[in-house]
A and B are shown apart, each in its own frame.
Chain A
Amino acid sequence: MAPPAQSQRSPSPSQPSGKSELSDLKLQLRKFAGSRAPGVDDSKRELFKKVISYMTIGIDVSSLFGEMVMCSATSDIVLKKMCYLYVGNYAKVNPDLALLTINFLQRDCHDQDPMIRGLALRSLCSLRVANLVEYLVGPLGSGLKDSNSYVRMVAVIGVLKLYHISASTCIDADFPSMLKHLMLNDSDTQVVANCLSALQEIWSAEASRSEEAPREREALISKPVIYYLLNRIKEFSEWAQCLVLELITKYVPSDSSEIFDIMNLLEDRLQHANGAVVLATVKVFLQLTLSMTDVHQQVYERIKAPLLTLVSSGSPEQSYAVLSHLHLLVMRAPYVFSSDYKHFYCQYNEPSYVKRLKLEMLTAVANESNTYEIVTELCEYAANVDIPIARESIRAVGKIALQQYDVNAIVDRLLQFLEMDKDYVTADALVLVKDLLRKYPQWSHDCIAVVGNISSKNVQEPKAKAALIWMLGEYSQDMQDAPYILESLIENWDEEHSAEVRLHLLTAVMKCFFKRPPETQSALGAALAAGVADFHQDVHDRALFYHRILRYNVSVAERVVNPPKQAVSVFADTQSSEIKDRIFEEFNSLSVLYQKPSYMFIDKEHRGPPEFADELGNLSIGEAEDNVVPSQRVEENDKDLLLTTAEKEETRGSTGHSQQASFGIDDLLGLGMPAVPDAPPSPPQLKLNAKAALDPSTFQQKWRQLPVALSQELSLSPQAIAALTAPQALLRHMQSHSIHCIASGGQSPNFKFFFFAQKYKESSNYLVECIINTSSAKAQVKIKADDQSTSQAFSTLFESALSKFGIP
């Protein structure tokens, strides 16, 4: 490498004057090509650098190809590297050059310097030219057996690259089994780690295509492999450790002593300097102990300190990522962190995304013992220069108030906000006071006194204005001026742009009317007239409705508009607990940062149906843990998969029984007993049990064990597509054909279903995975059966059932 001092002074190469420069370079390169004079490498380097910088800014320098290759017949690695970069860039676009390149690189794959062997092999595999893959097999094969670990390490990743260019070439050359051998025997851990990541990627991509792939994938998380990796974990690089730890989370230990062994072995990983390792270890601990409630709680205590340290040290991005994870944990176990609330205090110069998350944390950990401190702290932020954060913190105070029983102090604080005389603070505080009053009507006197002093002219934001109007209506008996304020608001009806505010205004004036009729009557008339004339449909309808109901019977109207209200005890949570559980299963992934389970941001339109196979892999592995988990966990998981089967109760009742029976039959069939006498092709003879039962874990287990009997693509009628607005529609339909759904999910246009059916009077099961894409009107169907011989008959049955969907 040329020293930087020189290169800094060299003129910018961005504007070559044109062809003449290229031919100039060509001549110079040629001059040096054969030369072995000392110092010639330096000049070559300068030239190469120039060529590459041209290339980088998009000037075509492919005409120099021959000279470049000639010049790189040297032992200078920097020259080699630059040359590899150059040839790699042009091989892709220029097939003639590609062949030349391959010759050149293949030669270097036999160089005596391992570094050059490795680099050449890496460049060779990075060419990604599909029709040249046959040239890769030889060098890769010898690379995997190379005596130097650097070359082997490169070769392993090379295999993976080959797989992505041409999967069949890779499988045919039997590379996966070579990788497996290397993984279990190589002395260099980086080679082992690369093997592991390559195998994982290959087998999960293969899962949809081959039958051995799922088995091979299972083999990766089998006891011997896991133990082998665990024993060597300290030798691995930090990144490889993350990989291994991720693998371990998928492993299902046989008993609790095994769990403790693993945890003991990995405990020091929690003190690793690399945050990624720490978080991966945390995931292992959490997943392993899911079934052991006591230990799970202890795990929370144990992981607390390392996670909190990760938050306070390191970059804001890291803090954010870790805080997101902590937030998830706090939702599951708020009390664990309630004494550490001070860690979530915001620092002055933190970026606002971190602050926002910290505010959420403070809300989540607030309990009887720390509310006072937390609310005091939050009130400090209300005076923050950062306005969004100030608002956010006021909302946080409100949320805490809604969580707590003793709200005395908090109400005072909120009322102080109202008096703070800053419009955004007032606005947010108003919304909160409204919510608070709905939950704690007993505070109305104190609040109303303050709210009454607020001039509605100072409140501009629709939400806040609506809240103020709501209070005016609801508590008009206690507020001297209520009717008059409402009246003045109605006078300015046309200036009110928000329909929400106008709707509230209508309702408020109605309420006020029932409480103080004489004072409100004229305002009510004006409001109704304005409302009926309103161009907004909802406002118009509501005004008309009030008008008619008043004409019909005033006391009925009062009962409708102003019924005695019960205090709201719990406000609906925005995110369901199923979703949260699902996110928890995807701990240490982006799901936690996005606060969405992965299928919500992966499975949408930009991913085609075949990709679902990946998700299935995740599902079945996710389920695997449930085998060791008590049944209530399984139930939770049911909900995860958005189960909607009607006979879930029934299923649970008969689970154990039917399961045993089905295994009995399996055995018999396994012994080679002749299958059902009335085999296909006589579909009507295959009768299904209308009350079939199968529990999810058995389903998962079978789905993993059984090979795919049939896989096909069916077309759906337009009627079916129209009827399939939600998964539930299809479920009911299929159930009427004795095909039951065990799990369904997805959003338009991609739906995914798992069905099962049972043969009438036998417990031979059929399992179906059905992926429907409504935009292409296709269904991908995969059928697995205990009894392979009847799968064709079942498939016909399934197809006919599906084809009738949507047709009344």
Chain B
Amino acid sequence: MPPLMGIEFLCRVSDVLSDYLGGLNEDVIKDNFVIVYELLDEMIDNGFPLTTEPNILREMIAPPNIVSKVLSVVTGNSSNVSDTLPGATGSCIPWRAADPKYANNEVYVDLVEEMDTVINRDGVLVKCEIYGEVRVNSHLSGLPDLTLSFANPSILDDVRFHPCVRFRPWESHQILSFVPPDGEFKLMSYRVKKLKSTPIYVKPQLSSDAGKWCVNVLVGLRNDHGKTIDSITLQFQLPPCVLSADLTSNTGTVNVLGNKTCSWSIGRIPKDKTPSLSGTLEFESELERLNVFPTFRVGFKIMGVALSGVQIDKLDLKSTPSRLYKGFRALTQAGEFEVRS
């Protein structure tokens, strides 16, 4: 038994179920057990995975939603299973439903990046990487054939594609050529290694003064991307031997939770001052040295910029229909962003 097959399949099942039921927990499954039965029946038979493409499943088994409820009341046709077999099961493009029609042809491309960083206590970057995804939301009639190209494909390190992407054009010209599934999907994922800087800095300081331990954390912008950094948060675990902590900040709010997790939500960094957190820790017994140093986990969001520098050059549609609306967005957020102290 290939282990990843099991894991991937289980992930897929949970994705599909939460997609259908709008969440995944015991109650939801109990309430919708018939749908769950139906889905599992189509997804696996005799221990071997069959259909896991959400688009095809959706055609075989309609999800329970308000629209279909209204429809069923109006038309009197209440079956949530389509009468005919899905066209795509027979077509050679299994991810695409047969011939959808849209009044407005739209396609949206989102670049979503996550920055994974480890900074050590001297402020040196130990590791800084970006994991990025290209998410596409397409509402196009017929059988559209899209090509997407990057301005700087060479910085992409390891790429992985949705099955719809043709391999040859990428190999020869770094062009993504594909027939998209209908709706939202992940077109590709990539990594960008060895970045040199982070958008914000965090400077934690722990010092002892006559038996008292003082904490002082500064957060600031490193260089200006021209975009504002949103929802900055900082979380860290206090050492287990801490009795109480008295922490205050000049911006945002600080909370110390029961399990000795301290979270500081800053939000946006104000123009006039540098956010700082300071306070004292009280220990069970007097300590000369601190043996456990907290790790600060940082969260942030930057809209409108992909920090890795990846840029989409253009998106073309073969046999352009009369009107096509194209939208692009980029977003960078913190993934595993850690600062050690």
A interface residues with partner B (beta carbon < 8 Å): 1-5, 7-8, 38-39, 41-42, 45, 49, 52-53, 56, 75-78, 81-82, 85, 113-115, 119, 122, 148-150, 153-154, 157, 160-161, 188, 190, 194, 197, 235, 237-239, 242-243, 246, 267-268, 271-276, 278-280, 305-306, 308-310, 312-315, 317-318, 321-322, 324, 342, 345, 347-349, 377, 380, 383-385, 420-422, 425, 588-590, 592-593
Contacts and interface: CB of A to CB of B under 8 A. Distances in A.
Nearest to A304: B158
B187 to A, nearest CB: 9
A174 to B, nearest CB: 21
Contact of B41 (A5, A81, A377, A588): A81
B64 A348 contact: no
Given A1-B64, A273-B163, A312-B191, A246 B2 contact: yes
6 contacts: A42-B72, A160-B46, A279-B2, A309-B160, A348-B338, A420-B291
Contacts, number: 198
Contact of B46 (A3, A81, A161, A312): A161
Contact of B126 (A188, A377, A385): A377
A318 B79 contact: no
A238 B51 CA distance: 9
Given A78-B34, A318-B8, A321-B4, A383 B293 contact: yes
B76 A7 contact: no
A317 B7 CA distance: 7
Nearest to A125: B46
Contacts of B72: 42
Give the most central of B2, B32, B83: most A CB within 10 Å: B2
A383 B291 contact: yes
Nearest to A150: B85
B20 to A, nearest CB: 10
B80 A1 contact: yes
A280 B5 CA distance: 9
Nearest to B92: A235
A593 B163 contact: no
A115 B85 contact: yes
A119 B11 CA distance: 25
B34 A280 contact: no
B225 to A, nearest CB: 24
Nearest to B62: A1
B16 to A, nearest CB: 14
A238 B163 contact: yes
B108 interface: no
A77 B240 CA distance: 58
A111 to B, nearest CB: 12
B306 interface: no
Contacts of B32: 1, 4, 7
Nearest to A318: B7
Closest 5 CB pairs of A and B: A268-B167, A305-B158, A239-B49, A276-B5, A77-B81
B274 to A, nearest CB: 25
A190 B52 CA distance: 12
A157 B189 contact: no
B116 interface: yes
Contact of B8 (A42, A275, A383): A275
B27 to A, nearest CB: 8
Nearest to B9: A239
Given A157-B48, A318-B7, A115 B81 contact: yes
A190 B50 contact: yes
Nearest to B114: A313
B291 A78 contact: no
Contacts of A422: 291
A192 to B, nearest CB: 13
Contact of A114 (B33, B62, B85, B167): B85
Nearest to A198: B46
A425 B131 CA distance: 35
Nearest to A305: B158
B81 A306 contact: no
B241 to A, nearest CB: 11
Contacts of A313: 131, 189
A354 to B, nearest CB: 12
Contacts of A348: 295, 297, 336, 338
A694 to B, nearest CB: 34
A149 B79 contact: no
B142 to A, nearest CB: 21
B159 interface: yes
Contacts of B101: none
Interface in B35-67: 35, 37-38, 41, 45-46, 48-53, 60, 62, 64-66
A588 B158 CA distance: 21
Contacts of A49: 34
A77 B79 contact: yes
A190 B42 CA distance: 13
A306 B126 CA distance: 22
Contact of A78 (B51, B81, B292): B81
B245 to A, nearest CB: 15
Contact of B76 (A38, A161, A315): A38
A357 to B, nearest CB: 13
Contacts of A113: 83
Nearest to B53: A237
Nearest to B86: A150
Contact of B31 (A7, A42, A81, A246): A7
B160 A276 contact: no
B316 interface: no
B47 to A, nearest CB: 9
A312 to B, nearest CB: 7
Given A8-B31, A56-B33, A42 B78 contact: yes
Contact of B52 (A8, A38, A239, A385): A239
Given A271-B160, A271-B161, A321-B3, A157 B46 contact: yes
Given A8-B31, A160-B46, 4 more contacts: A1-B62, A273-B186, A279-B2, A588-B2
B184 interface: no
B158 A309 contact: yes
A3 B158 contact: no
Contacts of A75: 83
A287 to B, nearest CB: 14
Contacts of A154: 45
Contact of A122 (B7, B8, B45, B68): B45
Contacts of B51: 190, 237
Nearest to B295: A348
B173 interface: no
A272 B161 contact: yes
Contacts of A150: 85, 89
A421 B291 contact: yes
Contact of B3 (A8, A42, A384, A590): A590
B85 A148 contact: yes
B169 to A, nearest CB: 11
Interface in B81-136: 81, 83, 85, 89-90, 92, 94, 116, 118, 120, 126-127, 129, 131
Contacts of B167: 267-268, 271
Give the most central of B5, B21, B35, B52: most A CB within 10 Å: B5
B267 to A, nearest CB: 23
A726 B34 CA distance: 55
A672 B264 CA distance: 90
A242 B2 contact: yes
A541 B38 CA distance: 70
Contacts of B314: none
Contact of A279 (B4, B78, B94, B340): B4
B239 interface: yes
Contacts of A197: 48
B69 A589 contact: no
Contact of B159 (A77, A267, A271, A310): A271
Given A52-B34, A342-B127, A272 B160 contact: yes
Given A4-B31, A157-B45, A345-B127, A322 B4 contact: yes
Given A85-B37, A421-B291, A306 B79 contact: no
